[in-house]
Every structure is written in structure tokens, then in C-alpha cells.
Amino acid sequence: MKAVTVIPSVPESLRLRDVDKPKPNHGQVLLKPIRVGICGTDKEIIEGKYGKAPPGSQYLILGHEALAVVEELGDGVDNVSVGDVVVPTVRRPLDCSLPVDYCPLGHYVEHGIWGLHGHAAEYSVTDAKYLVKVPKELIDVAVLTEPLSVVEKGIDVAFSIGGSRFDWKPKSALILGAGPIGLLSTMVLRLMGLSTTTVATRPPDSLKARLVRELGGVYVDAALSSIEGAFDIVVEATGSPQVTVDGLRHLAPNGVMVLLGVYPPGGVMNDLGNVLTDSVLNNKILVGSVNANIKHFELGLKHMAEAKSRFNDWLSKLITKRATLDNYQEAYSWTHDDIKTVLEINPLS
């Protein structure tokens, strides 16, 4: 079967390979991926900065944002049936009994990222208990469930930590970045009734800006310093250390800032003392969040259904590029105007 592969740590080693079709073990299913989404983590892996091949394999099959059909059941599987359309979660624990999204590095593997093959292939296998069934009416957009699960977890963390102190009722949010994570964060926070301001570099007539406004949010393409006021929640989705520190200055007293980006090493900061003192004197919380639990995938599907009824085809407009296995290279190239690129693998029959 055909699979999109890289040799981790070797930049530009992206290849379409002919590899053996996998077989499901006990408790696993064979999946026929319909499509996979591509994100910044795939980019990092292709650039040789991240990623790990499964033990005994020289290469890693990419693809952690998948929508797939259950093709075959391994022994002992009774929670899904052949023909179900599903989204697999990404992470599997190794020797870790914490909720899987809280397992430390070295104590988990991740499909298509770290030590476990992904779904950018004609077939893939995964553990049945980590599958989320997708309702028929969401199949067209459900490839966005995985990035949405990351957003759901980040927002869940903000509300649970913030609300553990007193009856905290956030009303406003600042979202830094208008890629898939920034836009999906804007969507969820708007569905939750917060007023939102999303900041990014694209001009006010860009698709990203229009998408923010279609949610009833404010879009700003200027420097953060030009923004007035403070926000109860700040979601950081740019991966820029400078933007992050500037965002922290816009966090309201008792506010929570969630970091969802991955940041380049280094960076110099003036005035660290004032930023830290301000955080102490105003009880500000800064929290990092990665990956997601199956409950966040389920919540994501609930919010998708709500978004479809409130914002019509808004979610499908996030998919700005589609490629197939035969022209896979096109899927793995980026411009600032792309939002979500998907690789179409097996058409749904």
C-alpha cells in the first residue's frame, strides 16, 4: 500500500513509499483513512526537527489528524463496527497511568508523530478504545476534530484552573493567531458566549479576517500594542515568544493565558521583572496545554454540530487546500494564506 513517510531527523526525507499493509492485533482495528489533515507538527517533522520512527522501522508514516472508516476488527473489539466512520485520538500511553494527555515525554507514543505510524496511508491500525464515532452529518468537516480537540482541552484547562479559585466568569478573550488553532479557538469561545478579538498578520480583507468576523468576533491585523484593554482569557497560537509576552500584558486581573504553540529556542526579553510582578499582583495564570483526551474529541464533535447550525458552512471554509496521495508534495507545502490542507486518501463509498 502507499504511505507518506519521513525519516525522522533527516530534513527533506518526505517520500511516498510502498509498504506492507498492517494487520490489527487484539483490541485493534484496521482503518481505511478517508483523509488526513496537515499541521505545523508535520512541518516540524519534515524539517527534521521533531518526530520518531516506531521501534524497528527506519521511517515514520505521517498523519495524526485522521478521519477513517473501520475496515476490519481485530479480536476482542466490540465498541465499533465495520463501516463506522471514526476519528482516532493521537496518543497512546506506554508505562503511564495518568490520563494519556498528561503522560510525560518518554512515556507515550503518538500516531504519525512519535514512535507510532500515522494514517497518511491507504490503511492504518489503531486501538479500538481510542476511536470516536463520527455522526453522518459531520463527516465533511470531521477531519478537523483532532485540532479542535487540542483547542477544547486548552479551553477546558483555562476554565477549570480559573474556576477552581472562585466563581470566575470570563467574558472576553484575546486569541493570538488565525491559523486552524486560532480560528477554532475563536469558534469555541464564541459558541461559549465570550466576546473575542483575534490578532494575526493577514490583512482585514483576507479569508482569515472574514472568517473571524463571520463568527461575530473582532479581527485585528495590527501590533498587539495597539490593542486597548485587557482580556479574561488569552489563547496563544502563534508560536512566537514575543507575541506571547505581549499577550500576557493584555491578560486581565485573575485571567488565564493558555499556550498552545511550540516556540523556537532562544529569544531575549526586556522588562521580564515587570511582566512577572504584574502577573503576581494580578493573580494571572499562564498554562501550557498539549494533546487531548477522548472527552475533548467528543466535545469537539458537539461544538462542530453547534457551529454548523449557527455558522452554516464556516467549518468547511477552513479547508483551503486538498491534495491526493499522488500529488502529496503539494499538501506538504505552506503559504501564510493556507488554513487547513487535507490529503484525500480513500473516497468514502
113 binds ligand BGC (CB under 6 A): yes
Tell the burial category of 13 from Cβ atoms under 10 Å away from its Cβ (0-12, 13-18, 19+). middle
Cell numbers describing residue 111: 500516531
157 and 289 in contact (C-beta within 8 Å)? yes
C-alpha–C-alpha distance, residues 45 and 60, integer Å: 10
Contact present, 44 and 99 (Cβ < 8 Å)? no
How many residues sit in the footprint of ligand BGC (CB under 6 A)? Answer: 12
Rounded-to-integer distance, Cα 61 and Cα 297, Å: 22
* Interaction pattern, residues 31-60, with ligand BGC; x per rule: CB under 6 A: --------x-x-------------------
* Smaller CB separation from ligand BGC, 5 or 291: 291
State in angstroms the smallest separation of the CB of 223 from ligand BGC. 27
The interface region with ligand BGC, picked from 107-115, 119-127, 265-273, 295-303 by CB under 6 A, is: 107-115
Contact 99, 75 (CB under 8 A): no
Q: Give the shortest CB-310-to-ligand BGC separation in angstroms.
A: 25
Nearer to ligand BGC, 157 or 290 (CB): 290
Helix (H, G, I), strand (E, B) or coil at 39: coil
Residue 90 binds to ligand BGC (criterion: CB under 6 A): yes
Minimum distance from CB of 41 to ligand BGC (Å)? 3
Sheet holding 2-6, edge to edge: 15-18, 2-6, 60-61
For residues 246 and 225, give the distance between their C-alpha atoms in angstroms, rounded to a whole number.
8
What 3-state class would DSSP assign to 233? strand
3-state secondary structure 58-71: CCEECCCEEEEEEE
Torsion, CA 184, CA 189, CA 192, CA 193, rounded to 10: -130
Instruction: Work out how close the CB of 343 gets to ligand BGC at its nearest, in angstroms, rounded to a whole number.
Output: 15
Stretch binding ligand BGC (CB under 6 A), from 110-118, 127-135, 270-278, 306-314: 110-118
Min separation Cβ 291 and ligand BGC, Å: 3
- For ligand BGC, the closer CB: 113 or 199: 113
Q: Does 291 bind ligand BGC (CB under 6 A)?
A: yes
Closer CB to ligand BGC, residue 59 or residue 114?
114
CB of 221 to ligand BGC, least distance (A): 25
- Supply the minimum distance, in Å, between the C-beta of residue 285 and ligand BGC: 22
All three cell numbers of 299 = 466535545
Least distance (Å) between residue 7 CB and ligand BGC: 18
Side-by-side strand order, sheet with 115-116: 91-93, 108-111, 115-116
> What string marks each residue from 56 to 85 as x (binds ligand BGC by CB under 6 A) or -?
--------x---------------------
**What's the rounded Cα separation, in Å, for the pair 115 and 74?**
21
Stretch that binds ligand BGC, among 5-13, 15-23, 72-80, 108-116 (CB under 6 A): 108-116
Nearest distance in Å: CB 51, ligand BGC: 9
Binding positions for ligand BGC, 129-148, rule CB under 6 A = 146
Q: Is 144 helix (H, G, I), strand (E, B) or coil?
A: helix
Q: Does 150 bind ligand BGC (CB under 6 A)?
A: yes
Q: Which DSSP state fits 52? A: B
- Mention every residue, 6+ apart, whose C-beta is less than 8 A from residue 160: none
- In angstroms and rounded to an integer, the radius of gyration of the C-alpha atoms of the chain is 20
Please select the residue that binds ligand BGC; options are 34, 53, 110, 130, rule is CB under 6 A.
110
Q: Name the residue nearer to ligand BGC (CB basis): 146 or 232.
A: 146
- Residue ranges binding ligand BGC (CB under 6 A): 39, 41, 64, 90-91, 110, 113-114, 146, 150, 290-291
